[in-house]
Copies of this chain bind each other. A is one copy, B any other.
């Protein structure tokens, strides 16, 4: 079976990515970074999600010789001109403190009225083959930012994001509900044609 590497060290993203890819029964063996020898990772300094996703997947494909899928994602908030964007993971100033990032957004938006609290989760997903072939796609999930956190599923900004057509936050959706609509689910489904080709 063809192996494909999911190139992320974020355990929660890895679980989501693996769940989505496996649900599609592509006939691909999904391996994580813990299944391959360690290699140095470049910092994410791109100006776009696409740039970062391609860079991560290309690094991983080059270092391991495997086709590699990587995601770069975040939240774009209208009242913040589309930020945190590529800085979503380090919005509060240091990397990966979900609670601090979320608290900061709530503080920044405290005086922003309801009609200007729109935003979107965005995911760029890239597949890079060992020969350097790149595919990159983007999934978006529109919604609005509420005023206090709710829900214990998900991660990142999920507890303050209510998707369009929902009353629950994305942290109150089941994993399967989230995958069906989420930015990451949409992006990965856009990659399926390329992944199917790989499996053949």
In the complex, the count of this chain's copies comes to: 2
Tell me what chain A mostly uses at the interface: helix, strand, loop, or mixed.
Answer: loop
A80: chain B residues within 8 A (beta carbon): 81, 83, 87
Q: A residues touching B (Cβ–Cβ < 8 Å)?
A: 43-45, 47, 79-83, 85, 87, 90-94, 103-104, 106-108, 110-113, 116
Say whether A111 contacts B43, CB under 8 Å. yes
Chain B nearest Cβ from A98, distance in angstroms: 15
Say whether A113 contacts B83, CB under 8 Å. no
Say whether A112 contacts B45, CB under 8 Å. yes
A81: chain B residues within 8 A (beta carbon): 80-83, 85
Given contacts A80-B81, A81-B85, 14 further A-B contacts (CB under 8 A): A44-B111, A45-B111, A45-B112, A45-B113, A47-B79, A81-B81, A90-B107, A90-B111, A92-B107, A93-B103, A93-B106, A93-B108, A93-B110, A94-B107
Determine which residue in A92, A106, A113 has the highest number of CB atoms from chain B within 10 A of its CB, and name it: A92
A43: chain B residues within 8 A (beta carbon): 111
Name 6 interchain pairs, CB-CB below 8 A, sorted by A: A44-B111, A45-B112, A47-B116, A90-B107, A90-B111, A94-B107
For the complex, give the distance between the alpha carbons of A108 and B97 in Å: 13
Chain B nearest Cβ from A134, distance in angstroms: 22
